[in-house]
C-alpha cells in the first residue's frame, strides 16, 4: 500500500503500473518472426521508456508499435490490444484521457472476444481504465471496474496473488480519497493480511501498509489499533534499515500526528524532533 499522502500517490500511480503491460506481451499469436521482431522491439522500447518515466519518448514508440500492429496483424488480434493498452497507459501519464479511454475500451473488447470476459488480460485493462478514472476523481466510474478486476484476479490466480493485493489496495485508495475511511479499512486490512502471509510478518514492504492502515484507524477513532500498527511498522523499519533511516522519520511523523491528536503533546514533540534530526543527518 501507499502512504497516506494522496498527492504523492497520484504522482506515482501511473508509472507504477508497467507490470500490467509486461504480463500482456507475448500473449498474442505472431504470424512471422520478422513481424514479431519489429512489433515486439517497439513494444519493449515503449515499455522500457514508461518504466524510466520518459513518457514523451514512450508515447512516440507506443504510437509506432500500434501502427505496426494494426498494419501487420488481422483485426481483433491480441497483439493490437497489447499495444493499445500500453499506449493508453502512456497517454494517461500526460493527462490525455480523451485519447487513452478509447484505447483501453478497444483493448478490452479485443481481449473479451479472444479470451473471454474472465481472462486476466481483461482484468488488467479494467484496472488501467479504473486508474484513469481515479486520476480524474471519477470515483463512481472507477469503483465497479476495480471490483470487476478484483473478482477476475481472485478466480484466475487465487486469493493470495499479488494482483489481488494490488486491486484491494486500489479500492482502499479510492475510498480513502473520498474520506470514506471506514470503507477503506477492510480492503487495506485484507491486503495487509495477504502480504503478511506471503511475505512474512517482518518484511519491510509491510511497514508502509501498516503505517497507512494505522492512520485510517486513527481517523476513525480506533486509537489502540492505530498505535499498535505504528509501533509494528517502526519496529520493522528499524530492523531492516537501522534507526536513522528517513523511512523511520516518516513513521515518527505520523506517530507524532497521532499523539498530538490524542492529547499526548509532549510525546508528539519528542517524535517530531527525532524525525527532524534524522532528516537533517541524512542530508549531510
Domains in the chain: boundaries? 34-115
According to CATH, the topology of domain 34-115 is 1.25.40
* C-alpha cell at position 262: 490524542
Q: pLDDT, tens digit, for every residue of 66-105?
A: 999 999 999 999 999 999 999 999 999 999 999 999 999 9
Q: Which residues contact 245 (CB under 8 A, 6 or more apart)?
A: 237, 278, 282
pTM here is 0.83
49: left (phi over 0), alpha (psi -120 to 50) or beta: alpha
| C-alpha distances in Å from residue 107, one per residue of 126, 166, 237, 258 | 10, 21, 41, 45
Percent of the chain residues past pLDDT 90, beyond the cut: 85
| Neighbour-count burial of 32, counting CB atoms closer than 10 A to its CB (0-12 exposed, 13-18 middle, 19+ buried) | exposed
Q: pLDDT, tens digit, for every residue of 111-157?
A: 999 999 999 999 999 999 999 999 999 999 999 999 999 999 999 99
What does the pLDDT read at residue 99? 98
Kindly indicate the confidence band of residue 61, based on its pLDDT and cuts at 50, 70 and 90: very high
| Neighbour-count burial of 146, counting CB atoms closer than 10 A to its CB (0-12 exposed, 13-18 middle, 19+ buried) | buried
Q: 204 pLDDT exceeds 90?
A: yes
Amino acid at each position: 500500500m501507499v502512504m497516506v499522502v494522496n498527492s504523492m500517490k497520484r504522482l506515482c500511480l501511473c508509472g507504477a503500473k508497467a507490470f500490467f503491460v509486461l504480463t500482456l506481451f507475448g500473449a498474442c499469436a505472431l504470424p512471422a518472426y520478422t513481424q514479431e521482431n519489429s512489433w515486439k522491439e517497439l513494444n519493449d522500447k515503449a515499455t522500457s521508456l514508461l518504466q524510466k518515466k520518459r513518457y514523451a519518448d514512450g508515447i512516440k514508440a507506443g504510437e509506432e508499435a500500434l501502427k505496426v500492429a494494426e498494419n501487420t496483424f488481422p483485426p481483433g488480434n491480441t497483439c493490437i490490444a497489447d499495444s493499445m493498452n500500453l499506449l493508453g497507459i502512456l497517454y494517461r501519464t500526460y493527462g490525455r484521457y480523451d485519447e487513452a479511454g478509447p484505447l483501453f475500451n478497444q483493448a478490452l473488447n479485443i481481449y473479451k472476444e479472444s479470451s473471454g470476459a474472465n481472462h486476466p488480460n481483461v482484468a488488467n485493462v479494467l484496472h488501467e481504465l479504473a486508474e484513469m478514472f481515479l486520476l480524474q476523481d471519477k470515483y463512481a466510474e472507477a469503483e465497479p471496474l476495480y471490483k470487476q478486476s478484483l473478482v477476475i484476479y481472485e478466480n484466475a490466480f487465487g486469493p493470495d496473488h499479488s494482483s489481488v493485493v494490488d486491486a484491494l489496495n486500489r479500492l482502499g485508495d479510492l475510498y480513502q480519497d473520498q474520506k470514506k475511511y471506514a470503507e477503506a479499512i477492510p480492503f487495506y486490512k485484507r491486503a495487509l493480511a495477504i502480504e503478511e502471509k506471503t511475505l512474512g510478518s517482518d518484511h519491510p514492504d509491510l511497514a508502509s501498509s501498516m503505517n497507512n492502515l494505522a492512520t485510517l484507524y486513527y481517523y476513525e477513532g480506533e486509537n489502540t489499533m492505530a498505535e499498535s500498527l505504528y509501533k509494528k511498522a517502526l519496529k520493522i523499519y528499524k530492523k531492516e534499515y537501522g534507526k536513522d533511516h528517513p523511512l523511520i522519520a516518516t513513521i515518527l511523523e505520523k506517530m507524532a500526528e497521532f499523539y498530538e491528536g490524542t492529547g499526548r503533546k509532549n510525546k508528539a514533540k519528542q517524535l517530531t524532533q527525532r524525525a527532524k534530526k534524522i532528516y537533517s543527518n541524512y542530508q549531510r
